[in-house]
Chain A
Amino acid sequence: TQLLEQSPQFLSIQEGENLTVYCNSSSVFSSLQWYRQEPGEGPVLLVTVVTGGEVKKLKRLTFQFGDARKDSSLHITAAQPGDTGLYLCAGDGDNFNKFYFGSGTKLNVKP
């Protein structure tokens, strides 16, 4: 059973377009993390959100944590080919020692 559902599963867009990726759950998380993973490598942490309603910006990436701490979104403005990769969300659930990952959104940005 996936605690975290990500959508869409795949996304292929042109350079310069905007996009939003969603991470949803019926469970409450004390925090959510977003990672990007490139082929053949391990995931790399992009951001951690810990407060309901929190918005964090990382250059062209905007991350939001839902008010009820059950969902999160990642918005990319003016996507570039370098944004191509697998985007994963992860939350710690009811145990700070255990992390649960979503199935990921595979993004392809075409030049």
Chain B
Amino acid sequence: NAGVTQTPKFQVLKTGQSMTLQCAQDMNHEYMSWYRQDPGMGLRLIHYSVGAGITDQGEVPNGYNVSRSTTEDFPLRLLSAAPSQTSVYFCASSLLAGPTDTQYFGPGTRLTVL
């Protein structure tokens, strides 16, 4: 099993550009989520999905879109990048949502918006 994979590992964008961060898992997990990590802020939930076709907003959803057409993939789209979106982005998955399920994190995508 590859676990949770994320691409690209690094990305530099100019303000106003759009892009998609890819996330895939091969563990047949129902729950997937996206976080951003900024210095001194811990991880903040952007969007999450409890299964294919179902998505919902997290703590900081503005400026980001998601979709979940398959169980395996959960891409995160930046519609018009802004410098405030410079961050490290982590995708995570767990078998089910809930307090006792283990969340597995990908290695992250380091995004810089100029």
A residues touching B (Cβ–Cβ < 8 Å)?
Answer: 2, 4, 6, 9, 29-31, 33, 40-45, 48, 50, 88, 90, 92, 96-104
Contact B99–A98 (Cβ < 8 Å): no
Contact A101–B42 (Cβ < 8 Å): yes
Query: Known interface pairs A41-B107, A88-B42. Does A31 touch B48 (Cβ–Cβ under 8 Å)?
Result: no
Q: How far is the CA of A48 from the CA of B102 in the complex (A)?
A: 8
Contact A103–B100 (Cβ < 8 Å): no
Contact B43–A88 (Cβ < 8 Å): yes
Query: Known interface pairs A42-B105, A42-B106. Does A97 touch B50 (Cβ–Cβ under 8 Å)?
Result: yes
Among A30, A101, A103, A104, the residue within 8 A (CB) of B99 is A30
Among B97, B100, B106, the residue within 8 A (CB) of A50 is B100
B residues touching A (Cβ–Cβ < 8 Å)?
Answer: 4, 31, 33, 35, 40-45, 48, 50, 56, 58-59, 90, 92, 97-100, 102-108
Q: How far is the CA of A102 from the CA of B37 in the complex (A)?
A: 11
Contact A44–B50 (Cβ < 8 Å): no
Query: Known interface pairs A42-B92, A98-B48, A100-B59. Does A31 touch B43 (Cβ–Cβ under 8 Å)?
Result: no
Query: Known interface pairs A45-B102, A88-B42. Does A98 touch B58 (Cβ–Cβ under 8 Å)?
Result: yes
Contact B107–A40 (Cβ < 8 Å): yes
Contact B43–A43 (Cβ < 8 Å): yes
Contacts of A33 in B (CB 8 A): 103
Contact B41–A103 (Cβ < 8 Å): yes
Among A31, A41, A88, the residue within 8 A (CB) of B100 is A31
Further contacts, 10 of them, CB under 8 A, given A42-B106, A43-B43: A4-B42, A29-B99, A40-B108, A42-B90, A42-B105, A92-B99, A96-B98, A96-B99, A97-B97, A99-B33
Contact B45–A99 (Cβ < 8 Å): yes
Contact B103–A99 (Cβ < 8 Å): yes
